[in-house]
Chain A
Amino acid sequence: MYERKKFPSHILVFLAPAVIIYTIFMVYPLLNSLRMSFYTVTPDHREVFAGLDNYVNLFTNDIFAPRFWGALKNNFIFFAIHMVVQNSIALMLAALVANEHRRGANFYRTIYFMPTVLSVVIIGFIWNLILNPLWGVSKSILDVVHLGSLYQPWLGLAATALPTVALISVWQFIGIPLVLFYAALIAIPEELMEAATVDGATGWGVFWRIKFPLILPTVGIVSILTFVGNFNAFDLIYTMKGANAGPDYATDIMGTFFYRTFFGQQLQLGDPSMGATVAAMMFLIILTGVLLYMFVWQRRVQTFEM
């Protein structure tokens, strides 16, 4: 009904505030930041076009390159631990909760989501205390199951610090995949399962042959949310290990590397252009993940469903 008139003003009124704020404070700074990755700032604060110099610097310069590749590798390990540990435990717990009585289900859902609502700062300090050899509670807990001799100051050792931090992040954020899996599982029509049970399928068989294929779309959503969240992570490692992500950069991921490059550290001054370059690389990585999800995974799952 509006087609032949000029663009109706009430639609503009409804849309303008959101579009303006979103454009000014999200899209414009992001584009500006991408642009800045192609410039350098001179000591007298002029921006000079630098082509791909910043990127070459990031990949090859002795100051940046080892840190960049190190952070990238650590970030993939961080992500792999979330995919394997967080999402499989979340799927198992969601499947068990979905089979429960309604009352029990509410109880477990509420408890499992609890760490997720707390700030990463609180979680980081809680685990810093619990794993602290001074307090010794983690050794006492391991002693209960006669594994006390396994205790090590995991956060302080280069070999175990990254997996330890990743597992703490898993512990905190497991609530999100869990509720998403749970929502998908309870949405499966009961008749499907009944038909399978009549056909003699066991609980295990029903889960893997009927339920799991049906919740594949959720598996995709959980994976891409995990990917984006992990490649954007910062708070937990900053809280537990500081901006230097010690010991010896063992827990350094893209977020902490970005922060150090942008704001500087100890002897090195902060550098907005190099910071923008690191952010641009994070943008590329996340964008690649999102596009793969949208055009490869979603398309496959769709044909699979049909």
Chain B
Amino acid sequence: MNTTTSLSASTDVNTPTESARTRKARNRIRPSVGGIIAQLILLIYAVIALFPIFLIIINSFKAKKYIFGEPFAVPTPATFDLIGYKTVLERANFGVYFMNSLIVTVAALLLTLLIGSMAAFALSEYDFKGNTLLALYLSIGIMIPIRLGTVGILKLMVSLNLVNTLVGLILVYIAQALPLTIFILSAFMRQVPKELKDAARIDGANEYQIYRMIIPLVRPAVGAIGIFTMIPIWNDLWFPLILAPSSSTATITLGVQQFLGQFVSDWNAVLASLTLAMIPILVIYLIFSSQMIRSITSGALK
């Protein structure tokens, strides 16, 4: 495989899918046994993927008696009960945790995009000495997980007085997200036609203005970056647990983990908190899913 040349921007996806559609239309003239079996397998797996999530959500709205008595029934007026949600809202600090996660993820995302796009621009635009070596250095982090440096990171955070702060988490997450972000963004930036930049240079634009001109053109890459760097940050348990476990800095993932540990025998509260933790992510995912998956399938990571 050729890692650099097979990278392509998001526009060429349609062609293969389009032709797949015509092929399918042709095949459908005679509905085959194979086609029906294929549909059946796809449906069965869809049920396997969704059913556990569905089961938790429906039971979170039921009284305890019915969680155990009729676990597969959807809630009806007779079985409906919000007691779990009441417990969660009274006992857990989910508001604080949620804000912490939001601050950490958004700050890490914005800073990673800014810093990463600057570096990606320099690496893809200029032919300076050491370019390849620097690109290699920055891409080590794609394959070597940052967790392996945890002993050193904790030591560093202690000496910088950044333990139990959101700033510490944000810095680690930027370092974690930069390698892949730079890799994806520089692949997209190489697609931008050279003529465009040269024309701007002739018009007297300086290099910083050229950078600002390029940024809107690589927006399709943000979907892939979102899915591969931001979701892992939002969902991370390791660094919040080690670097910022205090109750004022806990993220939602750590908060849910600790809450569930304490309330493990209160089924209503457990089901309700799981549902509360899932809903925002699922809603965001459903809104952006087509864009996220399109930017992966467009070849940003091939």
Chain A residues proximal to chain B, CB less than 8 Å: 2, 7-8, 10-11, 13-15, 17-19, 21-22, 24-33, 36, 89, 92-93, 96-102, 104-106, 108-115, 117-122, 125-127, 129-130, 135-137, 140, 171, 179-180, 182-184, 186-190, 193, 203, 217-218, 220-221, 224, 228, 232, 234-235, 238-239, 255, 258, 262-263, 272, 275-276, 279, 282-283, 286-287, 290, 298, 301-302, 305
Contacts and interface: CB of A to CB of B under 8 A. Distances in A.
Contact of A14 (B178, B211, B253, B256): B211
Interface of B is mostly: helix
B155 A29 contact: yes
B131 to A, nearest CB: 9
Given A114-B49, A203-B34, A29 B156 contact: yes
Given A15-B119, A137-B55, A186 B17 contact: yes
A140 B71 contact: yes
A290 to B, nearest CB: 5
Contacts of A272: 151, 155
Contacts of A13: 118
Highest count of chain B CB atoms <10 Å: which of A187, A188, A189, A203: A187
Nearest to A114: B49
Contact of A137 (B71, B134, B137): B71
Nearest to B173: A25
B95 to A, nearest CB: 18
28 contacts: A10-B208, A11-B122, A13-B118, A15-B119, A18-B116, A21-B174, A26-B176, A28-B156, A29-B151, A29-B152, A29-B153, A98-B20, A102-B18, A113-B293, A115-B53, A118-B53, A119-B234, A135-B68, A183-B297, A186-B20, A193-B23, A218-B302, A262-B151, A275-B150, A279-B149, A283-B144, A286-B144, A298-B1
Contacts of A283: 144, 148
Given A15-B122, A28-B152, A287 B144 contact: yes
Interface of B: 1-2, 13, 16-21, 23-24, 34, 38, 41-42, 45-46, 48-50, 52-53, 55-56, 67-68, 71-72, 115-116, 118-119, 121-123, 126, 128-129, 134, 137-138, 140-141, 143-153, 155-156, 171-172, 174-176, 178-179, 182, 206-208, 211, 227, 231, 234-238, 242, 253, 256-257, 260, 267, 270-271, 274, 277-278, 281-282, 285-286, 289-290, 293, 296-299, 301-302
A195 B267 CA distance: 58
Highest count of chain B CB atoms <10 Å: which of A7, A25, A108, A127: A25
Given A14-B211, A96-B41, A186-B20, A22 B156 contact: no
Contact of A276 (B138, B144, B151, B301): B151
B297 A179 contact: yes
B138 A22 contact: yes
A125 B148 contact: no
A98 B116 CA distance: 33
Contacts of B148: 30, 33, 232, 279, 282-283, 286
A40 to B, nearest CB: 13
B34 A25 contact: no
A187 B10 CA distance: 12
A114 B118 contact: no
A111 B119 contact: no
A129 B56 contact: yes
Given A21-B175, A122-B256, A301-B1, A286 B143 contact: yes
A109 B293 contact: yes
B150 A279 contact: yes
B151 A26 contact: no
A263 B45 CA distance: 40
B235 A119 contact: yes
A253 B200 CA distance: 55
A27 B141 CA distance: 8
Contact of A119 (B24, B123, B137, B277): B277
Given A18-B119, A33-B150, A7 B17 contact: no
Nearest to B14: A102
Contacts of A127: 52
Highest count of chain A CB atoms <10 Å: which of B42, B144, B148, B256: B148
Nearest to B145: A232
Contact of B278 (A22, A109, A111, A122): A122
B52 to A, nearest CB: 5
Contact of A21 (B17, B38, B56, B171): B171
B53 to A, nearest CB: 7
In order of increasing CB-CB distance, the 8 nearest A-B pairs are: A29-B152, A217-B1, A30-B149, A119-B235, A18-B119, A14-B122, A25-B175, A32-B152
Contact of A179 (B16, B21, B237, B296): B296
B143 to A, nearest CB: 5
Contacts of B238: 234-235
